[in-house]
Structure 1
């Protein structure tokens, strides 16, 4: 379970900001505005720190629920746009096209930041593709699956 000890904001606010950042093409400043519209005053730099801190932990917790992959896999090279510039992303995929692993090749200031962001983005893609063996995953939303993988049970 994730440790939110010492956090100024409730767990739900943190997870919603982090999930929205990796699930949709939003900037930290867009999220800051969206949360302000909902009555939560949070700075964009706080959302960035939450993403860097919690996405690797959530990805690590989600790894135990990931479905097994086949013995055969291949390397896939794709492009993603970062700050208006196209960059390489290398990932290993199995026969069905499910992601096994990935390596970022970006111009982030820190490789850790790039890895954290891409781990979260890839996690949301895997949730959408149904690549996790969660009980009742078909009956719950992507947001609830993300919360479950983070060790949180969302209130109904």
Structure 2
């Protein structure tokens, strides 16, 4: 067995359960429309007695480490972005998940924010550029907040990013939202903002792996499951 990454090994000191089992159930939780109760029942059928809240704790502890590992081997995205936000309920209140994809449909980045305003949009663009490099063009809808946020970013750049406002050109990112919404529908609202950010990062992580955005797969591309598990070593 290959050595675990130091970050995963550190997490395991506080999670006294075989890593292989934890990774399987965390992956199922973020990859498929399954509730924690569903996972508890599935584990029981395999004679694994674990409470559903324990699976949630595994996800909260492991997903930040796995996402960080994925960031190091994420394929570069294109320079033409489509950006939009979708809605996620946290403690009964709608919050805003900012997302963008490139022209080929690859996920650029994502960020959950409490408000939908200029500052939230600016913060999203700063994060996306820091992680992926600057785009040449960003297409947004008619949102004044997104336009103001992108203009604020451009104000600090020598070479401004070209801005296009055309709703029909953003169909590709609106369609991509559906994959995330399908998974969050069964969660029936997140209980805490911090947990929502972590679980959404895991859902986005599996979505990117499924779209082939992870490098290092070689000629014989391993399954999405094997790619996910490989992030722990």
Q: What is aligned with 2:25?
A: 17
Aligned residues: CA RMSD: 2.5
Q: In structure 2, the residue corresponding to 1:139 is in which secondary structure?
A: coil
Q: Please list the CA deviations of residues 68-95 of structure 1 after superposition, one character each: whole Å capped at 9, or x if unmatched.
A: 1223323123356889998653202222
Whether the aligned pair in 2 keeps the contact of 1:21 and 1:27 (CA below 8 Å) is: yes
Instruction: State how far apart, in whole Å, the 2-side matches of 1:140 and 1:85 are.
Output: 39
Deviates more, 1:83-92 or 1:19-28: 83-92
Q: What is aligned with 1:118?
A: 200
TM-score (norm 1): 0.84
Change (3 A) 1:16 1:88: same
Give the number of aligned pairs.
151
**Which aligned segments of 4 or more residues in structure 1 are displaced greater than 4 angstroms?**
79-88
- Which sections of structure 2, spanning at least 5 residues, go unmatched? 115-188
Q: What is aligned with 1:154?
A: none
Q: Please list the CA deviations of residues 30-52 of structure 1 after superposition, one character each: whole Å capped at 9, or x if unmatched.
A: 11110110111111111111111
How far off is 1:10 after superposition?
0.4
Q: What pairs up with 1:66-77 in 2 under 5 angstroms?
A: 66-77=74-85
Deviates more, 1:129-138 or 1:60-69: 129-138
Q: What pairs up with 1:84-99 in 2 under 5 angstroms?
A: 88-99=96-107
Instruction: State how far apart, in whole Å, the 2-side matches of 1:84 and 1:138 are.
Output: 45
1:38 maps to 2:120: no
